Homo-oligomer: A and B are copies of this chain.
Amino acid sequence: MELGEVVVVAPDSPQSGMGHAITINNPLRLDQVEIHSGIMGWQCSGTPVDCVKIAIDKILHRKPDLCVSGINHGSNSSINVIYSGTMSAAMEGAIEGIPSVGFSLLDYSHQADLSAARHYVKIVAENILRDGLPQGSLLNVNIPKLSLKDIKGVKICRQAMAKWEEEFDERLDPNKRKYFWLTGKFQNYDKGEDTDVWALKNGYISVVPVQFDFTAHHAIPFLNNWKF
């Protein structure tokens, strides 16, 4: 509120792992709701990315000055940027040409201490509103589970090369038919000290600039040697 007028548009159900999904085969609902006493927002039946699209077309009728996604509970560092509905919503904002940022806090608790987040979200937002962001980029900001005074600062990072090692948890339903729960362990193979995973582990807030041009430019000369 200190920085401008805030319009909240959020999915009406949990969207963990929703990635950049959009709703094509079903229609969407959009309803105004009271989120706190006197503070209104919009709930949408779609995905986080749907929320950004419908907010522009049906609520704002223009591009906002800033698109803030989150705050997400749980890390969206490293490869999680790909699976994250929070980060995909920010990416959608950036595709629309809106300065965009996603925030995540490394604390799953609904009672999480948001004081450090509140402090740094404002600073990041102020920086973006003042300077904008380089063309074709958005920000992925992750905040460690630390009190404001214990946070060492902010590091500009690259995405760590890490991944999830999946193991599906296999069970039998009452009819003796198998079903599977996705589980996994996060494995960081990246020893770099310029990564988001390193920063978070060492008490820093990580800021990774993210792009939606996925072209692996370095691979083009290799492929130009192929015969078709």
Contact A22 B19 (CB under 8 A): yes
Known contacts being A21-B19, A215-B209, A219-B134, is A28 close to B179, with CB within 8 Å? yes
Chain A, interface residues (CB within 8 Å), range:
35 or more
Task: Give A126-150 interface residues, CB cut-off 8 Å to B.
Answer: 127, 131, 133-134, 136-137, 139
Asked if A20 is at the interface (CB within 8 A of a chain B CB), the reply is yes
A109 interfacial contact with B, CB 8 Å: no
Inter-chain contact A21/B23, CB cutoff 8 Å: no
B53, B137, B159: the one within 8 Å of A166 (CB): B53
Contact A214–B18 (Cβ < 8 Å): no
Instruction: Please tell me which one of the listed residues B19, B95, B120, B178 contacts residue A88 in the complex, with CB atoms under 8 A apart.
Output: B19
Chain copies in the assembly?
2
| Complex contact A215–B223 (CB within 8 A) | no
Complex contact B20–A82 (CB within 8 A): yes
Within 8 A of B (CB), among A12-44: 14, 16-25, 27-30
Whether A60 is near chain B, meaning CB under 8 Å from some CB there, is no
Q: Are A211 and B207 in contact (CB under 8 A)?
A: no
**Given that A170-B58, A228-B154 are contacting pairs, would A17 and B28 also be in contact in the complex, using a CB cutoff of 8 Å?**
no
- Chain B hits for A1, CB < 8 A: none
Please tell me which one of the listed residues B96, B124, B180, B216 contacts residue A137 in the complex, with CB atoms under 8 A apart: B216
- Asked if A180 and B214 make an inter-chain contact with CB atoms under 8 angstroms apart, the answer reads no
For the complex, is A117 an interface residue (Cβ under 8 Å from B)?
no
User: What is the distance, in angstroms, from A154's C-beta to the closest C-beta of chain B?
Assistant: 4
Distance of A19 Cα from B16 Cα, bound (Å): 13
Pairwise interchain contact B29-A179, C-beta atoms closer than 8 A: yes
Q: Which A residues are closer than 8 A to B by beta carbons?
A: 14, 16-25, 27-30, 47, 49-50, 53-54, 56-58, 79, 81-83, 88, 91, 95-96, 120, 123-124, 127, 131, 133-134, 136-137, 139, 153-154, 156, 158-159, 161, 163, 166-168, 170-171, 177-182, 205, 207-220, 222-224, 226-228
CB<8 Å pairs between A and B, sample of 23: A17-B22, A17-B23, A19-B49, A27-B180, A28-B181, A30-B178, A30-B180, A50-B182, A58-B170, A81-B214, A82-B91, A82-B95, A95-B163, A96-B163, A120-B228, A124-B228, A134-B219, A136-B216, A154-B228, A159-B214, A207-B223, A210-B216, A211-B219
